[in-house]
Amino acid sequence: MERGENLYKIIIKTAKPGLVIGRSGEGASKLRDEIIAKLKKNNISLPKDVRVEVEEVRTPETHAAIVGEMIAEGLEKRLPFMRVVKQALEKTTSSRDVMGAKITISGRLGGAEMSRVESVKKGRLPLQTLRADIDFAKEKAHLPYGDIGIKVWIYKGEIFADKKKKTQ
Mean pLDDT of 6-13: 86
Type of residue numbered 165 = K
**Residue 162: predicted pLDDT:** 62
Across 34-158, where does the E strand assignment appear? Answer: 49-56, 100-107, 116-123, 132-143, 146-158
What band does 36 get if pLDDT is binned at 50, 70 and 90? confident
Lowest mean pLDDT among 2-6, 62-66, 93-97, 123-127: 2-6
Which pLDDT belongs to residue 161? 61
Query: Where do runs of H (alpha helix) occur along 42-97?
Result: 64-76, 81-94
Q: Are 149 and 140 in contact (CB under 8 A)?
A: yes
Q: Report yes or no: 2 and 9 within 8 Å, Cβ to Cβ.
A: yes
Give the residue with greater pLDDT, 45 vs 111. 111
pTM: 0.77
Instruction: Give the model's pLDDT for residue 91.
Output: 94
Helices first, then strands: H and E counts in the chain: 5, 7
Whole-angstrom Cα distance, residue 30 to residue 106?
36
- Taking only the tens place, the pLDDT of each residue in 52-84 is 888 888 888 899 999 999 999 999 999 999 999
